[in-house]
Structure 1
Amino acid sequence: MNFNMLVQLFGNISVIAMISLLIGQLNYFRNIIYGKNNWKRIMILSTLFGFMSVIGTENGIRINDAIANTRIVGSLVGGLIGGPVVGTLAGIIGGIHRYQIGGFTAFACAASTVLVGLLGGIVGTKHDLSKMKWKYILLLGITAELIQKIMVFLVAKPFEAALELEMQIAIPTTIITILGLSIFTLIFQNLKMMQDQSGALVANLALTIASRTLPHLRTGLNKDSAEKTADIICEITSVDAVAITNCEKLLCVKGIELEQPFQGEALAAQVAKAVFQQQNVIYQDKELVFPRNLPFQSVIGAPLYHRNKIIGSLQFYYRSSSFRMSQTHLKLADGLANLLSVQIELAEIEHHTKMRQQAELNALQAQINPHFLFNTLSTIMSYCRTDPEQARSLLGNLSDIFRRNLRNKGNFHSLQEELDGIKSYLEIEKVRFANRLTVLMEIDESLLHVKLPILTLQPIIENAIHHGLSPKISDCLLTIRVARSSHNVKISIEDNGIGMSEERLAEVLNRQSQGIGLSNVHQRLQSVYGNEYGLHLESKSGKGTLVTFEAPLHGP
């Protein structure tokens, strides 16, 4: 094996690798490699790797009217990175250059360069170069060299000269091709790592901003939330100025230079108009006319969406346009705008969710408590043998409760309907209390027609029984009174149970305790009749609790 040739070819591949390493430090080049596949990307990569093939030929070693070189490495790597089209085009560039140099292997070498580029493209569609295993790299390098040598044997004339040439260069060129492919694999693994780190930093920055803006954007996109969001963006990022607009006007600007009343607003309006027209992230420097007294040279604008409609724009301003070759700022603006859009939509969803939860809570109040149902069924089972008549009576009351719940429609019931439903419930509770419970009803029958919000009395009575009377051993008394009070009907439910402390009493109507049923009734009464209505609670620990409320005689 010719060691001098091996060293020279290694120097050749090292030059190409060094060029690739230096170019790879540019964000623009990395974004081209790992960006969307379009004709711009194809032409740039084809030219670049075709140029590497040309360098491989130019730095080759002349041997008997032929050249030992690293030409095929350029087209092979081009195919692996850019796909079949890039590999083929890079091969054509390198092949044409090699053919123009001439020699008895000119056509064979030119054709093999194209074929190897196509091979790299086919392999690249199935295997990522940055993740390719070493055994595949070895196999791919050997296959590429075999293609080149087979073409030389088939096409180059005379055959004896081709055979003599390959006897001299076969081993060195195969070693260098495998070595070159391995070096490029390491280079692009490093580039992929840099690209991932850059993306991770942008994502982390966007998420950090989004997490801090979340509490403010819960109120939607308005002047106050926009100002707080802009403050956070300026604090965390290197942006020189920030503007946020809705579809109609400028909501806020942050950055001393941009806060000039006329020029700043006019500039932000221009950018917003461009964003709305293009419906995409925009980058402008030379295309946008900046006022002379504003020091900005470039701007990025990103749309803010709500339900797939643009509702505003997020704008970043920079004093320099030197970052043009980097997509980092564009990715940050785009990613952050998307996150802010999601937050705006989540704010609306949260509002609707609260409303739905309230409606669901109201609906749940209209359903039979499962614990009550299970306990009632257990009581009925215990009476089936000992007292069948009592069991039959309990079943009748339970079926009446079911029937009323299934029949409950609308938002209001008459007082008569409310009381009828409560009577069946109380008959069951009396049995479960084993004669410990006494119920007194003092009802003005002339008021039974008065309409009340559905399930106003039942939650109050359930709370009185379960939280007030149930812990007592004996002499449990529940009193229900309905009387006229001026133009209102006054209803009171009183028990002689264990009562509540003042602290607990203050919490009941604020959903801070087990009194969620009471708080629901209280809020519904105020919502229907006004804030002057609602529940009034009086309670003394160990003495009992009195709950009263009033409702207009003639409805809301």
Structure 2
Amino acid sequence: MPDSPLLTAAALAVIALAIAAVVGVGLKVLRSFRELGTDAERATYTTLHAASRAGQHLRAGLNPAGAAKAARQLRSLLGCDALAITDTAGVLAWDGSAEDLKPLLMDLAAGVLAGGRTAMVQSPAIVQARGAVPAAGGPPIRLEAVIAPIRANARVVGVVAAFAPSVGAGLVRAVSEVADWVSVQVELAELDASRTLLMEAEVRALRAQISPHFIYNSLNAIASFINTDPARARELVVEFADFTRYSFRRHGDFTTLAEELRCIDRYLLLERARFGDRVQVSLRIAPEVLSTVIPFLSLQPLVENAVRHGLEAKEGPGRISIAAHDSGAYAEVTIEDDGVGMDPAQLRSVLAGHSDGEHVGLRNVDARLRQVYGEGHGLVIETAPGEGTLITMRVPKSQPGHDA
């Protein structure tokens, strides 16, 4: 065929291009491998990656599920035959060989748990503990261990134990460092737990604040309508029941803005039954922020503060304005009253926790917002004597891990 040389040339060109592409990809892969750095840098990356993976599994503290996953990463990091993690009561995780030692580990670790110092257990002691005897004429069984304490707030809460045929100074140092690293993860987990307990305690404090002030006044207001307006009294009883049911619920540290506003509506309905036209309320709420998650009982105490400390001491009627709008990545909520206001120096003392009694709800909400979202997310309060009070609260609209 006359055009066969052209076809052959085209085929050769395609093959050449394919070879060039393969070579190009290979060079790129080789270059990317070199970009990982030297052997030492790659070893550092591997170490940090393993530590990061293990840390994720210890976020909840020392428990069997997390310890088992972390032990795999830490054994790979240390390059030992077996690695175990314990608390003070028993073995939480064992990864690797020599599992016949697992029932004996707590006895081997007793001195470390009691004294808090890293120990090396030599082969003869382990052989005796295992009850293992080498076969006649066979090589002696050799296995050694490094056992290092896990500490949390100066308490020994467990150990890390690494097993290898021979233990040198390098492994002793490495196991001690790993145990110190695990200690930091456990302390962070305990800190998270203590912050959660603190938040729960603060919510209980808010509920205790509601009880003596608001409940007594609400019941008096309801009682005043029993003879004069029984239908109104029944309505208020229902609202009071709904308010207390929400305020004293036992589940969850978070709620939605919509739920908190419903609670505030019931609260203000009961307060208006007591104050009549002296309390005037206006609301401006953007629908798109109603589903925003906020800490439970974070708005109601601010409104109660406005009523009790702003309007109750004021002569004549007073107004409370509640607004919520979209502000980019945040939902911004403001609560403003035209009450008596307060001295800014007194306000600073209240927020710093130096003033007991009054305004405990204000301080409590400010502290909880800072704990949950960071120091930059506390309440912004503008006030002066005789000038009323404006409180602004900003919360992120996206909050992974916070369920209402």
TM-score, length basis structure 2: 0.49
> Which has the larger helix fraction?
1
Q: When the two structures are superposed, what TM-score results if normalisation uses the length of structure 1?
A: 0.36
Q: Which structure exhibits the higher relative contact order, with contacts defined as CA atoms closer than 8 Å and separated by 6 or more residues?
A: 2
Which one has the largest radius of gyration? 1
